[in-house]
């Protein structure tokens, strides 16, 4: 009987090794295995098993099934007979000795199998997946080759049955949500800094933004006009102090190119008469629906820092610069004067003052608005908060007009002609109908 007990314990331990191997290979991070593969043969083998898991998982399943059969065979023989003989000595249990002995053997084997053969090994495999996978991968790979004929038979049978049920197996790619979840996990564990987390969020968010979401609208652009005198253009340069200016012929509908202040300065110092049209360099044009990273690619190819954004009719709508794109990645770095115009400021009473040109997608993210698909379709073509208010009111508003959107109450504070310049915003608590603060 001692021999049977030893065999059963060995089988349970082997079951644990297989269970830990399975969970370790599946749970291990591919990037970590790749990093260690250059110096560690086990990591290379583990990476191969992870990239082609079918044979490995089938091998594990064959091993676990075979161990279960052998465990039942050895436990149901000598051990249960021995226990039944001992129970026969107890008068009250003698009539049920066979049934009770089988029940006891099943309970004991089940307990040991769960603890030693499943739970503890899997906990170890999950705790140190890459380390355990590197350690066990070589012998598991050898075992996979030994049982390869059986694995082949199982694979053929499995694929045949799957095809009978017309089940299609999809190879799911990694999604943005999964990447964000991994980054969140890294922040919680301390492996990733908070600023790195913010950068990853911005990188992923920027991919969904279009040129129209990042551009400076034509109404706010300072440009040089080849029809203006030198003194008029000089006044524009002194007033705004940019490094580059778009150059137009009459108005912004006719953008002819771009000029750098260094070029202007050099021409000013070396020439008596300045011909602005001869100093212009080409400027690229991008559609307003072009995604940010494609705009970035265009700027890199053209080797310039800004491009003209045009609508579907080819009419210029604004300018997008490298600074606009970089600011979306690392956050704004405007001067205090421009910062006050662009940001949302919270007042002492809990309400907010917001610029009408504030980007709508940033606004939605800041106030955690839960939008349905219908909401997204309705406001999908809007780019600013002012555009949202115009949509809600369906007319050009007057100062003091109010409108609600979900739990947000907008009030028009200031109009600049037909343009909404400033808005007041109150966030209502849906439960208490009181103003809520946004941290």
Confidence of residue 120 (pLDDT cuts 50, 70, 90): very high
Interval 139-186: pLDDT, tens: 888 888 888 888 888 778 888 888 888 777 665 566 777 788 888 888
Q: Rounded CA gap, 182 and 145, in Å? A: 34
The DSSP symbol for 304 reads -
Same domain, 224 and 160: no
Confidence of residue 413 (pLDDT cuts 50, 70, 90): very high
State yes or no: pLDDT of 189 exceeds 50: yes
Confidence of residue 380 (pLDDT cuts 50, 70, 90): confident
Q: Rounded CA gap, 101 and 84, in Å? A: 5
Integer CA distances (angstroms), 402 to 301, 344, 393, in order: 47, 18, 9
Of 307, 330, 353, the one marking the end of a domain is 330
6's CB contacts (< 8 A; 6+ apart) are none
The answer as to whether 206 is a domain residue is no
Same domain, 320 and 342: no
Helical H segments across 312-433, by residue range: 322-330, 336-342, 360-366, 373-379, 385-393
Same domain, 276 and 407: no
Indicate which CATH number applies to the domain containing 366.
3.30.465.10
Q: Rounded CA gap, 258 and 279, in Å? A: 8
Composition of the chain by helix, strand, coil, percent to 5: 60, 15, 25
Number of domains, the chain: 3
Q: Rounded CA gap, 341 and 255, in Å? A: 27
Query: Does the pTM exceed 0.85?
Result: no
Same domain, 40 and 117: yes
Dihedral sign, Cα of residue 404, residue 408, residue 409, residue 415: negative
Per-residue model confidence (pLDDT) at position 225: 93
Using the structure block, give the residue that is written with the tokens 């956050």.
331
Per-residue model confidence (pLDDT) at position 179: 83
Same domain, 215 and 324: yes
Residue 253: phi, psi to the nearest 5?
-70, -15
**Minimum mean pLDDT among 173-177, 256-260, 289-293, 346-350: which range?**
173-177
Per-residue model confidence (pLDDT) at position 332: 59
Interval 193-236: pLDDT, tens: 888 888 888 888 888 888 988 888 888 899 999 999 888 888 98
Cα dihedral: 362, 364, 366, 370 (round 10): -150
Tally Cβ neighbours within 10 Å of residue 22. Answer: 22
Interval 322-373: pLDDT, tens: 988 888 887 655 554 444 445 688 888 889 999 888 888 888 888 888 888 8
The radius of gyration of the chain from alpha carbons, rounded to an integer in Å, stands at 35
Same domain, 81 and 111: yes
**Minimum mean pLDDT among 20-34, 91-105, 129-143, 395-409: which range?**
91-105
Of 133, 164, 195, the one marking the end of a domain is 164
Q: What percent of the chain has pLDDT over 90?
A: 23
The answer as to whether 436 is a domain residue is no
Indicate which CATH number applies to the domain containing 241.
3.10.580.10
State yes or no: pLDDT of 27 exceeds 60: yes
Q: Rounded CA gap, 143 and 45, in Å? A: 13
Residue ranges making up the domain that contains 114: 2-164
Mean pLDDT of 14-32: 88
Same domain, 422 and 381: yes
Q: Under a CB-based contact definition with an 8 Å cutoff, are residues 290 and 325 in contact?
A: no
State yes or no: pLDDT of 75 exceeds 80: no
- Helix 97-114 and helix 2-27, axial crossing angle in degrees, nearest 10: 40
Please provide the average confidence, as pLDDT, over all residues in the chain: 84
Tally Cβ neighbours within 10 Å of residue 203. Answer: 13
Tokens of 184: 């969140």
State yes or no: pLDDT of 55 exceeds 50: yes
Residue 88: phi, psi to the nearest 5?
-65, -25
Of 330, 363, 383, the one marking the end of a domain is 330
DSSP E strand boundaries for 105-263: 216-217, 224-225, 244-249, 251-260
Same domain, 285 and 343: no
What's the N-to-C CA distance of the chain in angstroms?
A: 70
The answer as to whether 92 is a domain residue is yes
Mean pLDDT of 284-297: 93
Helical H segments across 227-321, by residue range: 230-240, 261-270, 292-302
Same domain, 245 and 377: no
Same domain, 21 and 155: yes
Per-residue model confidence (pLDDT) at position 341: 47
Same domain, 304 and 346: no
Same domain, 311 and 216: yes
Q: Between 434 and 13, whose confidence is greater?
A: 13
Q: Under a CB-based contact definition with an 8 Å cutoff, are residues 224 and 245 in contact?
A: yes
């Amino acid at each position: 009987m001692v021999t049977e007990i030893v065999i059963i314990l060995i089988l349970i331990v082997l079951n644990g090794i297989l269970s830990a191997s399975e969970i370790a290979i599946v749970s291990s991070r591919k990037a970590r295995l790749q990093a260690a593969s250059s110096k560690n043969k086990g990591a290379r083998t583990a990476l191969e098993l992870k990239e082609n898991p079918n044979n490995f998982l089938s091998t594990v399943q064959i091993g676990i099934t075979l161990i279960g059969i052998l465990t039942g065979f050895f436990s149901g023989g000598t051990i249960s007979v021995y226990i039944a003989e001992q129970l026969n000595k107890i008068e009250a249990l003698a009539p049920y000795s066979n049934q009770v002995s089988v029940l006891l053997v099943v309970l004991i084997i089940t307990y040991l199998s769960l603890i030693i053969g499943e739970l503890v090994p899997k906990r170890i495999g999950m705790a140190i997946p890459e380390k355990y996978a590197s350690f066990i991968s070589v012998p598991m790979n050898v075992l996979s080759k030994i049982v390869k004929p059986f694995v082949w038979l199982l694979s053929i049978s499995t694929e045949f049955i799957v095809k009978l049920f017309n089940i299609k197996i999809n190879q799911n790619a990694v999604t943005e949500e999964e990447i964000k979840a991994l980054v969140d996990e890294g922040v919680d564990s301390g492996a990733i800094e908070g600023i790195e987390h913010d950068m990853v969020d911005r990188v992923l968010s920027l991919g969904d933004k279009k040129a129209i979401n990042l551009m400076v609208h034509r109404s706010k652009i300072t440009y040089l006009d080849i029809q203006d005198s030198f003194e008029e253009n000089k006044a524009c340069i002194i007033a705004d102090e940019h490094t580059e200016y778009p150059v137009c012929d009459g108005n912004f509908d006719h953008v002819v190119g771009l000029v750098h202040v260094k070029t202007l300065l050099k021409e000013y110092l070396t020439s008596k008469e300045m011909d602005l049209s001869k100093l212009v360099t080409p400027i690229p044009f991008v559609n307003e629906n072009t995604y940010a990273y494609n705009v970035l690619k265009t700027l890199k190819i053209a080797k310039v820092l800004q491009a003209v954004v045009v609508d579907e009719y080819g009419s210029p709508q604004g300018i997008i610069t490298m600074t606009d794109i970089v600011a979306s990645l690392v956050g704004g770095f405007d001067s205090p004067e421009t910062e006050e115009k662009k940001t949302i400021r919270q007042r002492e009473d809990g309400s907010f003052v917001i610029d009408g040109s504030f980007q709508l997608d940033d606004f939605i993210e800041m106030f955690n608005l839960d939008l349905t698909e219908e909401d997204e379709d309705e406001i999908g073509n809007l780019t600013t908060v002012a555009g949202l208010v115009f949509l809600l009111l369906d007319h050009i508003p007057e100062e003091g007009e109010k409108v609600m959107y979900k739990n947000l109450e907008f009030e028009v504070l200031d109009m600049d002609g037909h343009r909404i310049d400033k808005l007041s915003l109150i966030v209502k608590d849906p439960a208490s109908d009181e103003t809520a603060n946004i941290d």
